[in-house]
Structures are given as C-alpha cells and as structure tokens.
Amino acid sequence: MLAGLVTAQKNPAYPPNEVDKLVTDSLPKIKEWLAKNPQGNCTLETAVRRKEWSDLTLAQRKEYTNAVLCLMSKPSLTQNVAPGARSRFDDYIVIHVQQTSRNHGSTFFLPWHRYYMWQYEQDLRNLCGYTGYQPYWDWARYAKDPINSPLFDGSEGSMGGNGAKATYNGIMMPGAPRPYDRIPPADGGGCVTTGPFKNMSVNIGPIAPVLTVTRNPRADGLGYNPRCLRRDINKNAAAVTTANYTYDLITNNHNAHWFQVVMEGQFPQGKWGVHTGGHYTVGGDPGGDFYTSPGDPAFYLHHTQIDRVWWIWQMQDLAKRTVEVSHTRTMMNFPPSANGTLDDLSGLGVLAPDVKVRDLMSTMGGLGGKFCYIYE
C-alpha cells in the first residue's frame, strides 16, 4: 500500500531509477515518524502528491502552463520598488533578487526555497484556478538528452523548447581555478520560439548574465527591460544530474552541512553539484542568471526537485533531519555572520509572511499544518 503511493501512474518510458527505489524503500519511515509525531489531519493518505512532469497527462501539463501564463497576467505587488515588475510572476523574481545573498550558501537555502515553491503553487491554484500541484523535474530522466525530453521538446505539452542557435563562450563556474571548469555551450542561446512560453516577456534583469543581452536601466536589475526568453538546453551541464549523482548525494552525506555543500557545488574542486547542473541545463537568459533565474518558468520544476531530494534525504532519519540546519546566516559566510538556527525568520516579502525556519523543515505538518505533501 505504501509503495503504491509513489509508484502509481508512472510514465512507463522511465523505469524507476535508484533514487525512485530509495523513495519506495523509505516511505514507511514517514508512517513510523507520524505515529510518534501526529500532525493533525496530515497523514500519508491525505497528503498532496507532487508528480514528475512526464507522469502528468498532456491535459494536466497544459493546465499547469496555462496557469503560469495566467500568473503572468495578474497585477504585480512589487512595482513600487521594482518598476520592471509587470505581473505576479515577476514578483517572484523580484523577491528572489532581493534575497539572493541571504538564501544561497546559507542556513536558509533549503527551507526558504521550500516556502517559495509552496507559495508559488498556492498562487497558481488560488489566483489562476490550477487544480493540480507543483510538478518536479526528475533530472535523471532526461539527463542524456534533455533537448528531446518531454520537458524541453517545444511541444504543447512541454515547458517550452530550446533557444535558437547563438554564439557565446559557455559558463565559467564561480570560484573555478582551472579553464576546463567552464561548461561548454550547446546549440541554443537565442530566443525560445516553440512551446507555451515562446511569446513571454522577460522583464527583470539581467544582473549576472551568461549571454550578451540588453543591460537593465537600473543598477539593481529591477528596472523594466523587456526581451525574449532565451535558453541553451545543455547536456554538458545535465551530465552531473544523472541518478547516481543524486543517489550518492543522499546516501553519502550524513549531516546537513555536507548534504547542502555537495548539492550546491564545490566549485574550487570543480564539482558543480546537482543544483548547479540543473540550472545550467536550462541556462540562457534569465535562467542562467544567478539572481533572476526564476524568470524562466522551468526554474520552479528544478527547485521542486531540489526540495524532493531534500525530502528523500530527510526521510533517512526524520527525527534528526527535520530539526537539523547548517551554515551561517549569510551566503558563504560573507560578510561573516552567526550560525543560523531553527528560530531564525524566513519570508517572501509581500508574497508571504516571515516564519521561523523550524516551520519549514517538514513537508508533513510544517507551516502550521499548511505543508502536507509528498513526492510520487
């Protein structure tokens, strides 16, 4: 029965990999944990089940992308501080820009992004009538050929296609001391011309571009700078997102510090991490911009997978790992700051209030019971 909760309606084109099997084997641990720590009405049977993109039907995928397009038509809440924000979708980019240096390489990286994905899901449902839940992108399914995957093949059931061929020099990884730590370019880099987002406008940024695009009229990148969505769907970056990397990340790192370090990347050692690999599988503009990357709708599927991987890691020792944080309160401890704690506050600006980190640690009963979800 428990295994059925995560194996139902899987796409037969993608047999379970070692990470999927780890989920199936680990799920009973949630039931055991809930027996000792009841979470009101949140049980395995009542939990929302987030699905992988290719496990959704064509109609479900189109409903999702239509809801994202709807969010791009809703009024902005941040235009008073970000003149470039033209929609509620843009508000998510503004909040990410404003909090980038706090929520990466810090205590807040995993819990804050969990909150961010959940609130985005809520806005799709409550503002745009979406009846599903936030899907994730299982990197391993498409790592060998992402451009021809159900996610990026440019069909009506995709998240949009690749960009047109453009010339650029690839991406030098931050902190990389050697020239071969550059991700080579692939066959895109230009405007996306296929799929649901072929006509979308990117309005914010750039701040840290990987392509040559028109500069933003404001130094903080929050001015109005409309342009096309650009991508370089890149199997060179995807190479570090095969299932073995994710499985090793989950099973070989036994504390929150090393789990997060390996996930985000060990750049001086030339190790990108699955977080970096997923981002630069999309690349382009704004997807390749560290600050404005949520401007590409694929961002939300990537970071929902990040949350899924954290969830799987937490399942291995729920009593410990739902209360364990690491790192300091600033990105890479710059400027130097104290170690973060479960009582530190994390919020989404005008989108959602500050809450304690401890309220974001569990998908089963977190956020005062509002979090109640698992991953199929």
Which amino acid appears at position 362 of this protein? S
The pLDDT tens digits for 273-283 are 999 999 999 99
Confidence tier at 317 by pLDDT (50, 70, 90): very high
Distance CA 101, CA 104 (A): 6
Q: What is the pLDDT of residue 7?
A: 47
**136 in helix, strand or coil?**
strand
Distance CA 372, CA 41 (A): 9
Domain that holds residue 328: 4-375
106: left (phi over 0), alpha (psi -120 to 50) or beta: beta
Which tokens sit at 196?
A: 């649901």
Entry pTM = 0.96
By the 8 A CB rule, do 67 and 61 touch? Answer: no
Residue 5 has pLDDT above 80, yes or no: no
Q: What is the pLDDT of residue 177?
A: 56
Backbone φ and ψ for 228, nearest 5 degrees, come out as: -80, 160
Q: What is the pLDDT of residue 182?
A: 81
Confidence tier at 267 by pLDDT (50, 70, 90): confident
What percent of the chain lies above the pLDDT cut of 90? 91
Distance CA 19, CA 243 (A): 6
Confidence tier at 14 by pLDDT (50, 70, 90): very high
β 201-202/189-192 pair status: unpaired
The pLDDT tens digits for 219-258 are 999 999 999 999 999 999 999 999 999 999 999 999 999 9
Q: How many domains does the chain have?
A: 1
Q: What is the pLDDT of residue 1?
A: 42
The pLDDT tens digits for 165-224 are 999 988 887 665 555 578 899 999 999 999 999 999 999 999 999 999 999 999 999 999
Confidence tier at 113 by pLDDT (50, 70, 90): very high
Confidence tier at 4 by pLDDT (50, 70, 90): very low
User: How many Cβ atoms from other residues are within 10 Å of residue 244's Cβ?
Assistant: 13
Residue 81, domain CATH: 1.10.1280.10
Closest CA to 350 of 26, 48, 90, 54: 90
Number of Cα atoms under 13 Å in the Cβ half of residue 247: 12
- Mean pLDDT computed over every residue of the chain: 95
Greater pLDDT, 147 or 179: 147
DSSP letters for 244-255:
HHHHHHHHH--S
Q: What is the pLDDT of residue 174?
A: 65
Over residues 362-366, the mean pLDDT reads: 98
Residue 8 has pLDDT above 70, yes or no: no
Backbone φ and ψ for 272, nearest 5 degrees, come out as: -80, -35
Radius of gyration (C-alpha) of the chain in whole angstroms: 19
The pLDDT tens digits for 327-356 are 999 999 999 999 999 999 999 999 999 999
Residue 66: Cβ-neighbour burial (10 angstroms; 0-12, 13-18, 19+): middle
